[in-house]
């Protein structure tokens, strides 16, 4: 028995089959470190309960096709069996499929464990899932078992969600007093064993996939060539380490390296776009020039592109392998130069015809040998196509004209060269291909062969095809022109953008200056605006009280209406002037120690007439733990008065509450909630209510008056006090305005602070 099995046995205590024992065993199985330990532990417990020495556990494999050995006990060498689930003549298959215990005798009855003269098989179910086998009906199982040494025992209660999962084979007959309880225990433990087997298989699969992924990643990163996968928009999806060095910038990279990587990305994206436009993603290798970010050298790559299928990557994904052919191209160029030098050396060093023939036969370029009079004495097949009218091959008149024209140009070139003292000459020449009648730009490289006296005896000329070079030069000039035009357009657009930015900046400064002047004007005019209105209110009060003489009731009513209108106008002007002071920075803070209960009581007294007039319930709930605040008493009172006035104004029935508690953050601050059962606010208007001069109902026939500044001033005052305000509302049910005040107003919360303790 393994150490893990012994550890599991220690978790369940006694071995009698009772509720606590079953619960302990199932708990131990659920805590098993792996499937093998759980299977061995369950088999050992079952053998110990029935006092048996040997046993075997078989479980259905993943394909649900065979019963496979999973654990054994009591054997010197653990036997291995694999029984096909289609072998219905085997009692173990019938036991597993019917979920009914089976007992029997005789070594040939089960054909898997020949050493068992007497045995008992207990079914082990699993959870019914998609793909599991259905349970065999009891009647069918009885028909398959028949009569003889093997017979069915009392079936255990089947669970609705159970399916065949395996079987435990015990050597010997299980006592009748234990068969029901042991079968019940195995039926309960079976789903746990099946689930552990599924988990073990999933872990093994994940480990295999992870190892394969790591190996593939290591293989791709080990490649010396960059490998890149791009999508349909030419964005890089994946790349190996070599590609990251060329196309990926890191945080610590220098400016030069970053610029090189940006250039590489631009060149690579342009290459992919050009390949898509020309329909050449799979048209074989293409050349791509990049820059080495570390050395700054030019790199030449041969790009091999291959589209990926949906099974491998996303739609239209393309795998590009960049083969570095820089050294190969450099070697090829150097080899070409060496070949040219060898050719010239051979032409100068030898006049032997056989060596000239060897050169002519092994060079693809047209080669001609002329004498000192410019007569062609030898040429290869490529040159014959350009300069000779073959007698075997009939040529058209147009082809003959092309051949004569080529011969005239070449003869003139050789005649001039023969008169010169130089021993070699290079010159470009435009010929005509007789077969296609197309222009053929070539570079003629000619060299003189001297005799022992230093006299020219022959001239060897090699014609290099410059068709690609001419096309590249033409494309370069076109690209250069387009680049110049693009740069000019960019400079023009940049100048226009700079001019527009300057104009917008000037306009923004002018708007800011006008707004500041407006706020400063209103703040400075506060006394001039309030004094006449206060005079109107004062004289109206004197007339109403009869100080200036008796008036009748009609006159008194008119004076009351005028005074109410003046007080309303004064309140509107006060809101506007307060907003102007805040924006102009001319509203100082008078900081002092404030008892929140006193401030709320003062505000409640001011708001009480409005509450009584609308017959609302008014509730004040202040927590005893609320500490004194070091803040501006007047500003706090104004904030609460604004919120309570709004709450009463927009509440026609129900109640208005003020709830004050310490904040949950533990910073010593206070949270004040003003709760009403009024009309509420729509969700779309929750942000608009904080704007200046903004009301939810902005129509001329709105039911509720006001300037729309109360909440705006409230938020600005709380910002200066270092606090905050928020709102939650359900339309038609009411609103909750929450105010957060710090225990001590920060020193930087206001532009001008006056401590009340110094007065």
Buried b (16+ CB within 10 A) or exposed e, 486-520: eeeeeeeeeeeeeeeeeeeeeeeeeeeeeeeeebb
Contact between residue 663 and residue 742 where contact means Cβ atoms under 8 Å apart: no
Whether the pLDDT of residue 540 is over 80: the answer is: no
Lowest mean pLDDT of 93-102, 455-464, 536-545, name the range.
536-545
- What is the band of 353 on the pLDDT scale with cuts at 50, 70, 90? low
Tell me the three state secondary structure of residue 325: coil
- Report the candidate in 670, 651, 685 with the shortest Cα–Cα distance to residue 738: 670
pLDDT 10s digits, 489-507: 898 888 888 888 888 888 8
Sequence-distant (6+) residues with CB within 8 A of 735 are: 647, 650, 675, 676, 678, 680, 681, 727, 728, 729
Give the per-residue pLDDT at 168.
Answer: 92
Give the per-residue pLDDT at 505.
Answer: 87
Contact between residue 711 and residue 690 where contact means Cβ atoms under 8 Å apart: yes
Give the per-residue pLDDT at 694.
Answer: 58
Q: Report the pLDDT averaged over residues 656-669.
A: 81
Give the per-residue pLDDT at 277.
Answer: 74
Whole-model pTM: value is 0.38
- What is the band of 359 on the pLDDT scale with cuts at 50, 70, 90? low
- What is the band of 167 on the pLDDT scale with cuts at 50, 70, 90? very high
Give the per-residue pLDDT at 15.
Answer: 36
> What integer best gives the mean pLDDT of the chain?
79
pLDDT 10s digits, 83-118: 888 888 888 898 888 888 998 876 555 655 546 778
Q: Report the pLDDT averaged over residues 326-347.
A: 84
* Torsion, Cα of 553, 554, 555, 561 (10° steps): 110
Give the per-residue pLDDT at 698.
Answer: 47
Contact between residue 743 and residue 612 where contact means Cβ atoms under 8 Å apart: no
Higher-confidence residue of 139 and 354: namely 139
Task: Report phi then psi at 22, rounded to 5.
Answer: -60, -45
């Amino acid at each position: 028995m393994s150490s893990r099995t012994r550890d599991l046995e220690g978790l369940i205590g006694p071995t009698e089959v009772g509720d606590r024992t079953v619960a302990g065993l199932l708990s131990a199985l659920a805590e098993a470190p792996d499937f093998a330990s759980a299977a061995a532990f369950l088999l050992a417990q079952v053998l110990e309960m029935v006092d048996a020495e040997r046993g075997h556990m078989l479980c259905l494999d993943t394909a649900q096709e065979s019963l496979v050995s999973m654990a054994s006990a009591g054997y010197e060498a653990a036997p291995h069996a694999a029984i096909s689930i289609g072998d219905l003549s085997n009692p173990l298959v019938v036991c597993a499929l019917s979920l009914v215990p089976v007992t029997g005798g005789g070594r040939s009855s089960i054909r898997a464990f020949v050493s068992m003269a007497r045995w008992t098989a207990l079914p082990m179910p699993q959870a019914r899932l998609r793909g599991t086998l259905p349970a065999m009906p009891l009647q069918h199982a009885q028909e398959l078992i028949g009569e003889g040494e093997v017979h069915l025992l009392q079936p255990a209660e089947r669970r609705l969600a159970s399916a065949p999962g395996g079987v435990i084979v015990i050597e010997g007959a299980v006592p009748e007093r234990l068969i029901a309880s042991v079968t019940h225990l195995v039926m309960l433990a079976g789903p746990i064993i099946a689930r552990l087997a599924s988990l073990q298989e999933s872990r093994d699969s994940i480990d295999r996939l992870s190892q394969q992924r790591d190996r593939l990643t290591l293989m791709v990163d080990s490649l010396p060539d960059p490998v890149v996968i791009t999508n349909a928009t030419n964005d890089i999806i994946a790349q190996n380490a070599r590609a990251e060095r060329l196309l990926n910038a890191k945080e610590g990279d220098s400016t030069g390296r970053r610029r090189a990587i940006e250039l590489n990305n631009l060149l690579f994206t342009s290459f992919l776009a050009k390949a898509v436009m020309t329909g050449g993603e799979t048209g074989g290798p293409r050349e791509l020039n990049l820059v080495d970010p570390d050395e700054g050298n030019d790199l030449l790559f041969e790009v091999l592109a291959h589209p990926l299928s949906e099974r491998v990557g996303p739609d239209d994904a393309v795998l590009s392998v960049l083969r570095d052919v820089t050294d190969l191209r450099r070697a090829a160029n150097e080899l070409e130069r060496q070949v040219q030098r060898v050719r010239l050396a051979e032409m100068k060093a030898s006049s032997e015809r056989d060596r000239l023939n060897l050169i002519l036969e092994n060079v693809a370029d047209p080669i001609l040998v002329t004498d000192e009079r410019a007569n062609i004495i030898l040429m290869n097949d490529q040159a014959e196509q350009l300069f000779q009218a073959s007698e075997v091959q009939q040529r058209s008149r147009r082809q003959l004209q092309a051949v004569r024209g080529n011969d005239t140009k070449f003869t003139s070139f050789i005649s001039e060269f023969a008169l010169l003292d130089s021993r070699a000459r290079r010159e470009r020449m435009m010929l005509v291909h007789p077969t296609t009648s197309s222009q053929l730009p070539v570079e003629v490289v000619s060299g003189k062969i001297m005799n022992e006296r230093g006299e020219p005896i022959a001239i060897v000329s090699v014609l290099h095809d410059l068709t690609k070079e001419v096309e590249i030069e033409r494309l370069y000039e076109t690209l250069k022109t387009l680049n110049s035009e693009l740069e000019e357009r960019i400079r023009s657009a940049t100048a226009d953008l700079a001019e527009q930015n300057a104009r917008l900046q000037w306009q923004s400064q002018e708007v800011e200056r006008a707004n500041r002047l407006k706020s400063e004007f209103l703040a400075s005019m506060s006394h001039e605006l309030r004094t006449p209105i206060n005079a109107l209110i004062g004289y109206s009060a004197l007339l109403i009280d009869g100080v200036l003489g008796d008036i009748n009731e009609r006159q008194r009513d008119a004076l009351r209406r005028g005074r109410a209108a003046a007080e309303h106008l004064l309140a509107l002007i006060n809101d506007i002037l307060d907003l102007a002071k805040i924006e102009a920075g001319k509203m100082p803070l008078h900081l002092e120690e404030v008892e929140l209960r006193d401030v709320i009581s003062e505000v409640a007294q001011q708001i009480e007439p409005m509450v009584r007039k609308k017959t609302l319930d008014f509730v004040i709930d202040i927590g005893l733990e609320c500490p004194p605040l070091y803040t501006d008493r007047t500003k706090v009172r104004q904030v609460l008065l604004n919120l309570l006035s709004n709450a009463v104004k927009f509440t026609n029935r129900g109640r208005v509450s003020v709830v004050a508690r310490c904040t949950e953050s533990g910073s010593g601050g206070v949270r004040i909630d003003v709760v009403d059962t009024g009309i509420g606010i729509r969700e779309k208007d929750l942000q608009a209510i904080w704007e200046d001069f903004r009301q939810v109902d902005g129509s001329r026939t709105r039911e509720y008056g006001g300037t729309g500044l109360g909440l705006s001033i409230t938020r600005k005052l709380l910002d200066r006090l270092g606090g905050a305000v928020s709102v939650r509302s359900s339309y038609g049910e009411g609103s909750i305005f929450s105010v957060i005040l710090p225990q001590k107003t920060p020193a930087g919360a206001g532009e001008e602070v006056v401590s009340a303790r110094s007065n």
